[in-house]
A and B are shown apart, each in its own frame.
Chain A
Amino acid sequence: GAGVSQTPSNKVTEKGKYVELRCDPISGHTALYWYRQSLGQGPEFLIYFQGTGAADDSGLPNDRFFAVRPEGSVSTLKIQRTERGDSAVYLCASGIANTEAFFGQGTRLTVV
């Protein structure tokens, strides 16, 4: 596909469960970003990958959140022991180096 692909598009989980959110960046993009968008708010930065390594993970809210990008392409955001406050749209973006960020449609996570 031409754009950033995120799966699933919607995820409903019970409080305390573990979830994984997947991001397929645009082919050839070395930079990958995760953001979180709460209802009626602008996206908030979570983590930035350059290649396989996390260049900046200062936006991860706590140690329940973790992200990987083992081969420098697909990335997975992992959330342990989910809480109702984790409910939001999780956005992934990619870019060439760090020039621009092109966003996917997001995964809407609902914790019940």
Chain B
Amino acid sequence: QQQVKQSPQSLIVQKGGISIINCAYENTAFDYFPWYQQFPGKGPALLIAIRPDVSEKKEGRFTISFNKSAKQFSLHIMDSQPGDSATYFCAASKNQGAQKLVFGQGTRLTINP
């Protein structure tokens, strides 16, 4: 049972463009939604996270949009740069904390110069 579904599997964006990655979840008890960035050979690094009391959170070029009724959330990367090329994972968990994160399948993002 895949509790968090992520799309697309891969994404190619031109430098300066907007990268958008989407996730949908099934468990309405989830209340913590982080995004992680992973480079080859490295562990996932926390980018930004949101809790369901807000519909949007922005940190620099990264924005999470959250739609509680649709059980969906997305990551937007503005002014995408070649250094953003990595695999991105959405995740979800209960109890407003990071224990027992359920991860999506990942999106391999490539930013063309």
A residues touching B (Cβ–Cβ < 8 Å)?
A: 4, 31, 33, 35, 40-45, 48, 55-56, 58-59, 91, 93, 95, 97-106
Rounded to whole Å, the gap between the CB of A28 and the closest CB of chain B is: 16
Q: Is the CB of B100 within 8 A of A40?
A: no
Q: Is the CB of A104 within 8 A of B99?
A: no
**B103 at interface, CB cutoff 8 A:** yes
State the main secondary structure of chain B at its contact with A.
loop
Q: Is the CB of B100 within 8 A of A56?
A: yes
Rounded to whole Å, the gap between the CB of A77 and the closest CB of chain B is: 15
Q: B101: which of A4, A43, A104, A106 is its contact (CB, 8 Å)? A: A43
Chain B interfacial residues counted at CB < 8 A: 23
Chain A contacts for B13, CB-based, 8 A: none
Q: Is the CB of B97 within 8 A of A98?
A: yes
Chain B contacts for A99, CB-based, 8 A: 97-98
- Closest-by-CB residue of B relative to A104 is B43
Q: Is the CB of B44 within 8 A of A91?
A: yes
Q: Is the CB of A40 within 8 A of B46?
A: no
Q: B99: which of A4, A41, A98 is its contact (CB, 8 Å)? A: A98
Chain A contacts for B103, CB-based, 8 A: 42-44
Q: Is the CB of B102 within 8 A of A97?
A: no
Chain B contacts for A31, CB-based, 8 A: 98-99
Q: Is the CB of A4 within 8 A of B43?
A: yes
Chain B contacts for A35, CB-based, 8 A: 101
Given contacts A41-B105, A42-B105, contact A103 B44 (CB under 8 A): yes
Chain A contacts for B91, CB-based, 8 A: 42
Q: Is the CB of B106 within 8 A of A102?
A: no
Rounded to whole Å, the gap between the CB of B94 and the closest CB of chain A is: 10
Q: Is the CB of A45 within 8 A of B101?
A: yes
Q: Which of A42, A97, A100 has the most CB of B within 10 A?
A: A42
